Amino acid sequence: MTNNAVIRRGLVLAGTVGIAGLLGAGVASAHVTANVLGSDPRQGGYGAITFRVPNEEETAATVKVEIDFKPEYAISSVRYQPIPGWTAEVTKTPLPSPVKNGKGLDVTEAVTKIVFTAQPGTKIGPGETQYQDFGITAGSLPAVDELVLPAIQTYDNGTVVAWDQVQAPGAEEPEHPAPTVKLAEASADGHSHDATTAAATAAAEDSTDDTARWLGGAGLVVGALGLGVGAGAVLRGRKASK
């Protein structure tokens, strides 16, 4: 790989990181959202989803967050990432009749809700400067193009905000949009892993490694130039003293 190509890849990587940071900052001051790192999860597989919950009340703090799962999604497993100061409870509900999941298997009991509750002394503080991320994994994911995951946000003053409005195609965003996650088509081999994500991760690692080598090489060049300048100064000083 040429030096110019390495430099270009390094600049692209730096720009991507910067844009990601700006996007993250924007989300923190917006609505409750569902976010995925990397490519879209696959139908029939498992996906890691992070719900970002900002506080939007000037004088009240968020103390409970509920995420609803449609029974027809037939999601049989939801795991959550523990958060200090918060408890979580996953609710499973027996279905009136079996529902096919994303793998085409019958599910008789599906996850319908997960509730995160703040313990005494813990909260998402009042005002518009704090937010909290709640991470989960869920599967098997249904054979739909998009998951709609309504959220209910409860404040310590009793205010309850339902983020459950679905945006119609071509319409403006509603006041309280439901968090959504797009799903990719199931892989042809039927595996639940996401090869695209693995490839993207490998590419990022390769790009990072190339950038590190380039920066290391640049450091050596700068160091060598510094030594050369220093040596020249010493020789000129010796000549002047003779």
Q: Point out the least confidently predicted range of 53-62, 88-97, 218-227.
A: 218-227
pTM higher than 0.75: no
Are 23 and 29 in contact by the 8 Å Cβ rule? The answer is: no
d(CA 40, CA 181): 8
148 and 56, same structural domain? Answer: yes
> What is the token pair recorded at 74?
């037939």
153 and 94, same structural domain? Answer: yes
- Residue 82: is its pLDDT beyond 90? yes
Question: What residues contact residue 182 under an 8 Å CB cut-off, 6+ apart?
Answer: 40, 145, 146, 147
36 and 23, same structural domain? Answer: no
For the residues 40-61, what does the mean pLDDT come to? 96
For the residues 160-178, what does the mean pLDDT come to? 92
133 and 51, same structural domain? Answer: yes
168 and 90, same structural domain? Answer: yes
Task: Give the CATH number, domain containing residue 57.
Answer: 2.60.40.2230
165 and 82, same structural domain? Answer: yes
What is the model's pLDDT at position 81?
A: 96
Number of domains comprising the chain: 2
- Residue 232: is its pLDDT beyond 80? no
9 and 22, same structural domain? Answer: yes
240 and 200, same structural domain? Answer: yes
Q: Point out the least confidently predicted range of 152-156, 165-169, 184-188, 207-211.
A: 207-211
Q: Cβ-count burial of 130 within 10 angstroms (0-12 exposed, 13-18 middle, 19+ buried)?
A: middle
- Residue 176: is its pLDDT beyond 50? yes
173 and 84, same structural domain? Answer: yes
Question: What residues contact residue 79 under an 8 Å CB cut-off, 6+ apart?
Answer: 136, 137, 138
Domain, as residue range, for 210: 1-30+194-242
82 and 7, same structural domain? Answer: no
172 and 64, same structural domain? Answer: yes
Mean pLDDT of the chain: 78
136 and 221, same structural domain? Answer: no
Tell me the per-residue pLDDT of 96-119, one tens digit each, with 9 for 90 and over.
999 999 999 999 999 999 999 999
